[in-house]
């Protein structure tokens, strides 16, 4: 919805448990940062704090209603700019002019307005009425025209270099320079026709119901995806994070699927990949929380195309720590970066043959009470007219085999390829 008045200024978010769905229109307030360091999290936080001092009324609505920010951060602010991501800052958030929230079965409409000194209360009241009426008028838009089987050329970017990088990483791990690093690659798509964002979102929503579905529109570009990985959810003093790392394909029959599940639960290479993430998240939370709970062993998490090892981690904070501070502590977890964190990020910067932009960065929302939820923007793509850039990565550990990791990225690309609905032809 909102295409006529708000194209380029829209977002969509839905969490897998169906608890919170948000659709926002219009950039009523924009907070952006280009700080090339961890300072970027505080920069956004300070901007939001300053703004909140002037928020009228004490909003006590349910989750994801009232004035809130939606946005995200790039993976690595020190990587430098690229043509593809040129309009994306290292952190960018907006408070929508209008937002529809669905909490399970309850719908709420939020209208935000920044009031300037010259505006009278009457003018504001007229504005709120107008906005509310526009929702009813605009409500019928948004059904996807359907882009199924649109012809599309698919170009694998630097896959030979990526395989070399995976090999080089396993050598560094054997030499004890690093424990784990996540390496990602890019695929470029050129469609004959404009990509239909509605159909894409619709397919993701239907096909990837165990994932967070997100779309962040920025001018003519839209960053969109279906990620299974929560970074952090904060509700009052309760913090929930999720470790998702270690993967295997889905079986073609229920019994093959179960065999693969058992194989993954007992596979040493994948258990190491996973354990490194759990250790880091647990330790980060222990610094901030008086109690941290997580099961001893991972369980299986399935999406339509892939199965993962999964460990939830929950903590109760000692003293209030902000959501953006939690993001600063966690990002990037070893599910996206590696371990040790700094060495892994530097290695990615040096040997990964692409610029991640917002891929694998934190994306989500934060309300005026500092509650909110962020996911890690994987299984995602940047859509621009007829073009799309898709990304997929793998956790590399000592036992990693480049060809097997390549296969894993192929599976991770499937959700976006399917949602975009192309009839794909490989371009050499």
Joined together, the tokens standing for residue 243 give: 């470790």
Beta-strand ranges (E) seen in 74-179 are 91-103, 106-111, 150-157
The Cα–Cα gap between 77 and 362 comes to 12
Joined together, the tokens standing for residue 69 give: 């920010």
Q: Which does 378 bind (CB under 5 to 8 A by kind): Mg ion, ligand ISC, none?
A: ligand ISC
Joined together, the tokens standing for residue 348 give: 């990615």
Nearer to ligand ISC, 75 or 93 (CB): 75
Q: Is residue 29 at the binding interface for Mg ion, with CB under 5 A as the rule?
A: no
Place of tokens 């307030």: 29
The Cα–Cα gap between 131 and 8 comes to 18
Nearer to ligand ISC, 229 or 373 (CB): 229
Q: Is residue 264 at the binding interface for Mg ion, with CB under 5 A as the rule?
A: no
Pairing outcome for strands 150-157 and 422-427: parallel
Contact 231, 333 (CB under 8 A): yes
Q: Is residue 247 at the binding interface for Mg ion, with CB under 5 A as the rule?
A: yes
Percentage helix, strand, coil for the chain under 3-state DSSP, each rounded to 5:
30, 35, 35
Nearer to Mg ion, 147 or 247 (CB): 247
Q: Which does 231 bind (CB under 5 to 8 A by kind): Mg ion, ligand ISC, none?
A: none
The Cα–Cα gap between 124 and 143 comes to 32
Joined together, the tokens standing for residue 1 give: 């919805």
**229 flagged as catalytic:** yes
Largest CA distance in the chain: 70
CA distances from 239 to 22, 68, 294, 312 (A): 21, 19, 12, 11
Nearer to ligand ISC, 98 or 416 (CB): 416
Beta carbon of residue 393, minimum distance to ligand ISC (angstroms, whole number): 3
Pairing outcome for strands 221-227 and 380-384: antiparallel
Q: Which does 327 bind (CB under 5 to 8 A by kind): Mg ion, ligand ISC, none?
A: none
Q: How many residues bind Mg ion (CB under 5 A)?
A: 3
Q: How many CA atoms lie less than 13 Å away from 165 in the CB half-sphere?
A: 25
- Which member of 9, 28, 156, 180 is catalytic? 180
Helices (H), 175-321: 197-207, 254-265, 268-288
Beta carbon of residue 325, minimum distance to Mg ion (angstroms, whole number): 29
Pairing outcome for strands 299-302 and 306-317: antiparallel
Beta carbon of residue 284, minimum distance to Mg ion (angstroms, whole number): 21
Q: Which does 329 bind (CB under 5 to 8 A by kind): ligand ISC, Mg ion, none?
A: none
Q: Which does 182 bind (CB under 5 to 8 A by kind): Mg ion, ligand ISC, none?
A: ligand ISC
- Which member of 229, 275, 328, 405 is catalytic? 229
Beta carbon of residue 247, minimum distance to Mg ion (angstroms, whole number): 4
Torsion of CA 382, 383, 386, 391, to 10 degrees: 30
One character per residue 390-409, x = contact with Mg ion (rule: CB under 5 A): ----xx--------------
Beta carbon of residue 251, minimum distance to ligand ISC (angstroms, whole number): 17
Nearer to ligand ISC, 103 or 410 (CB): 410
Beta carbon of residue 401, minimum distance to ligand ISC (angstroms, whole number): 13
Nearer to Mg ion, 273 or 373 (CB): 273
Name the residues that contact ligand ISC, by CB under 6 A.
182, 184, 229, 244-247, 273, 308, 335-336, 378-379, 392-395, 412
Binding site for Mg ion (CB under 5 A): 247, 394-395
The residues that are catalytic are: 180, 229
């Amino acid at each position: 919805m909102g295409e006529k008045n708000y194209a380029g200024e829209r977002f969509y978010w839905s969490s897998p448990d169906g608890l919170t769905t948000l659709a926002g229109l219009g950039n009523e307030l924009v907070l952006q940062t280009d700080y090339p360091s961890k300072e970027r999290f505080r920069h956004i936080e300070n901007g939001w704090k300053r703004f909140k001092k002037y928020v009228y009324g004490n909003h006590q609505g349910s989750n994801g209603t009232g004035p809130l920010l939606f946005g995200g951060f790039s993976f690595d602010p020190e990587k430098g700019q690229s043509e593809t991501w040129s309009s994306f800052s290292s952190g960018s958030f907006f408070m929508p002019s209008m937002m529809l929230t669905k909490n399970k079965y309850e719908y709420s409409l939020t209208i935000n307005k920044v009031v300037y000194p010259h505006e009278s209360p009457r003018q504001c009241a007229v504005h709120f009425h107008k906005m509310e009426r526009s929702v009813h008028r605009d409500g019928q838009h948004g059904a996807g025209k359907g882009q199924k089987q649109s012809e599309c050329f698919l170009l694998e970017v630097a896959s030979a270099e990526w395989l070399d990088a995976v090999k080089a990483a396993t050598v560094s791990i054997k030499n004890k320079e690093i424990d784990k690093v996540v390496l990602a690659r890019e695929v470029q798509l050129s469609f004959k026709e404009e990509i239909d964002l509605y159909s894409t979102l619709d397919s993701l929503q239907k096909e990837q119901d165990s994932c967070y579905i997100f779309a962040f529109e920025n001018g003519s570009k839209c960053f969109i995806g279906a990620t299974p990985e929560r970074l952090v959810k904060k509700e009052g003093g309760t913090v929930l994070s999720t470790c998702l790392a270690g993967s295997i394909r889905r079986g073609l029959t229920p019994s093959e699927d179960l065999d693969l599940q058992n194989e993954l639960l007992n596979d040493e290479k994948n258990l190491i990949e996973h354990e490194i993430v759990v250790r880091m998240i647990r330790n980060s939370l222990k610094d901030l929380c008086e109690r941290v709970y997580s099961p001893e062993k991972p369980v299986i998490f399935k999406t339509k195309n892939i199965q993962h090892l999964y460990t939830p981690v929950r903590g109760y904070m000692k003293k209030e720590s902000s959501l953006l501070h939690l993001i600063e502590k966690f990002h990037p977890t070893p599910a996206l970066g590696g371990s040790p964190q700094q060495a892994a990020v530097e290695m990615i910067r040096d040997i990964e043959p692409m610029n991640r932009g917002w891929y694998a960065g934190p994306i989500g929302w934060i309300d005026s009470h500092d509650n909110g939820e962020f996911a890690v923007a994987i299984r995602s793509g940047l859509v621009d007219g007829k073009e799309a850039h898709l990304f997929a990565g793998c956790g590399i550990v000592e036992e990693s085999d480049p060809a097997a990791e390549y296969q894993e990225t192929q599976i991770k690309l499937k959700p976006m390829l399917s949602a975009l609905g192309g009839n794909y032809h490989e371009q050499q």
